[in-house]
Every structure is written in structure tokens, then in C-alpha cells.
Amino acid sequence: MDDANFAGAAGGSMSIDVDKVSEELRIRPQIYIRLITSFASSLSGKMKALNEALESNDTDQMRMILHEIKGTAANLRLQSLLRAEDVMHVAVKGGEAQKQLYKYFADLSAESVKLQQYVNKEFNPDND
Amino acid sequence: MYKILIVDDNFENRQLLAEILREVAECDFAATGRECVEAYNLSLQNKSRYNLILLDIELPEVNGLEILGKIRESEKTAGIPLGEGIPIIIVTAYEKRFTEAYDKGCDDYILKPIDTELLLKKIADLMEKSGQE
């Protein structure tokens, strides 16, 4: 897995090399598109649940939601989302202050929105 | 074609695994520990056993390692020696729980992100080892 699969550091533009990732995973490109579209549409619910867990400072719940995002983002080679998830996950595990977690949450939210916008634009043009 | 039970609470992960395995296996799905046990028991009743289970750790209700323990316990009760039961590969994003998983009786352990080549090799090796080629 390398960053070329998914360019798009925080603040940068995003592109997903569907053919390259599909080849690496040995799956059909149309299935990969279907999977990232499905994952992207589920992210707003996950981020909402994560925000609620953050507001109530429920560390176990935060770790569970982050773990789920991590597993799928990693499997789908969504690198910039994965990086933002990892920063928050490490901070939660390390017991960092809630105020700091809000900052990491904002970064992760931004990556999540970026992915959803990209997917809508590239794969669901009717929904853009 | 093998018959494989994929146990993962995440829809995209289940579908990804099924797609990776499409040329070697027909897959059933379970999204919770309870569904896994039900599917496993049903396969035994119908004499249509799974060749393999791919089992995530983080599951609602009952986690994957508890499910693994329950399956090995039921095999032990049925007189099946350890190592001769249904092959189970743990598929997880947890990097540090492999000791616990092997203690509970898993046959192999693979980390997310899934490496397709490695997964297919592990399955082929297990099928050969268990005489299910």
C-alpha cells in the first residue's frame, strides 16, 4: 500500500486511483467504487456517533468507532482518512485532553467530508 | 469452490472479502457473534459444513475471540481434537491480540488492511493442511 493510491493530505485535493487499488486488491473496479460509495455514505453517521462519544467523553465508545473506521479505511486504501483517524485514535488511547481531541475530531471530520464530496462528484454525479 | 463464512460487523469489509474470494469460494455472512454461531450451527445441522471461517474480533454482542472459544469448546465436547476442527482465520485491525487469538484456538491471524495475496495463500495453506484442497 502506498500514498499514490490515495493522494490527498489535509487541505489538499483528492484523487482515488480506482484501477490501481482494484488491481492491488484483485477486485473488480466497479465493486471497489460501490464499496467506497457505501463507506462514504455511512461516514456521516459514524462521525455523528463519534461526536456524541466525544461530547460525553466516552473513551470506550470513541475507540470502538475509530477502530471500525480504521479497519474499513485501511482495507479500502483510503490513506488520508486513515492518517486522520490514526492521529485521533492514538490521542484517545493516550488519554489526551478532550479539548485536544476536538481538534483531531475536526481534522477527521474534514477528511470524511472531503471523501464524501469526492465520491459524490466522481461516482454519483447526480447527487452532487 | 470452498464454502466460507465471513464474520464482520462492517458491510464493506464483508463485501470486500467476498469479492476477493469470488473465484475460490461461495461466502455466507454474519454481522454479529450471535449470527455467526447460528450460521455455524445451521451448517452442522444441514451437513453442509463451512470449509473455513474468517472472523473479525470487534463484533457487537459477543466478540470474535469469545465466538472462537465457543466453537472450539463445542468441537471439544463433540470429540474433535484441537487442530482438527473447522479452520478459523482471525481478520482484524488489532495488531496485538494474536497471542490471545492463538490461545483460543485460531488457525491463523491476518491484519487489516487485507493483503489479498497473503489471505489467499493462508486459505490455500489451511485447506491443504486440513485435507480440504
- Report ipTM for this prediction: 0.88
Which tens digit of pLDDT belongs to each residue from A109-118?
999 999 999 9
Task: Give the full edge-to-edge strand order of the sheet including B25-30.
Answer: B25-30, B2-7, B52-55, B88-92, B108-111
Nearest CB neighbour to A68, from listed B10, B15, B113: B10
Nearest CB neighbour to A35, from listed B12, B92, B112: B12
How much is the pLDDT for A13?
A: 72
* Residue B96 scores a pLDDT above 60: yes
How much is the pLDDT for B93?
A: 85
- Is residue B9 included in any domain, yes or no? yes
Which tens digit of pLDDT belongs to each residue from B13-61?
999 999 999 999 999 999 999 999 999 999 988 888 999 999 999 888 8
pLDDT grade for B73, boundaries at 50, 70 and 90: very high
Write the CATH number for B94: 3.40.50.2300
Among A30, A42, A72, the strongest candidate for a mutation testing the B interface, having the largest count of B CBs within 10 A, is: A72
Contact B114 A25 (CB under 8 A): yes
How much is the pLDDT for B122?
A: 96
How much is the pLDDT for A12?
A: 62
Please check whether residue B13 is in contact with residue A38, taking contact to mean a CB–CB distance below 8 angstroms. Answer: no
- Distance of residue B116 Cα from the nearest chain A Cα, in angstroms: 6
Average confidence score pLDDT of chain B: 92
Here the contacts of B98-104 (C-beta below 8 Å, separation 24 or greater) are B100/B65, B101/B57, B101/B65, B101/B68, B104/B65, B104/B68, B104/B69, B104/B72
How much is the pLDDT for B81?
A: 85
d(CA B75, CA B27): 22
- Is residue B50 included in any domain, yes or no? yes
How much is the pLDDT for A124?
A: 79
HEC assignment per residue over B14-31: HHHHHHHCCCCEEEEEEC
How much is the pLDDT for B46?
A: 85
Nearest CB neighbour to B16, from listed A68, A70, A75: A75
- Is residue B133 included in any domain, yes or no? no
Amino acid sitting at position A83: R
**Helix A59-75 with B11-20: angle, nearest 10 deg:** 30
* Residue B132 scores a pLDDT above 90: no
- Distance of residue A38 Cα from the nearest chain B Cα, in angstroms: 7
- Distance of residue B52 Cα from the nearest chain A Cα, in angstroms: 20
Contact B15 A68 (CB under 8 A): no
Rounded to an integer, the average pLDDT of B75-83 is: 87
What does CATH list as the number for A16-123?
Answer: 1.20.120.160
Three-state secondary-structure class, residue B90: strand
Per the structure block, which three cell numbers stand in for A55? 461530547
Nearest CB neighbour to A75, from listed B9, B58, B112: B112
How much is the pLDDT for A46?
A: 96
- How many A×B Cβ pairs under 8 Å? 59
Which tens digit of pLDDT belongs to each residue from B107-126?
999 999 999 999 999 999 99
Look up the domain containing B12 and give its range: 2-128
pTM of the model: 0.90
Contact A25 B20 (CB under 8 A): yes
**In which residue ranges of chain A is pLDDT below 50?**
1-10
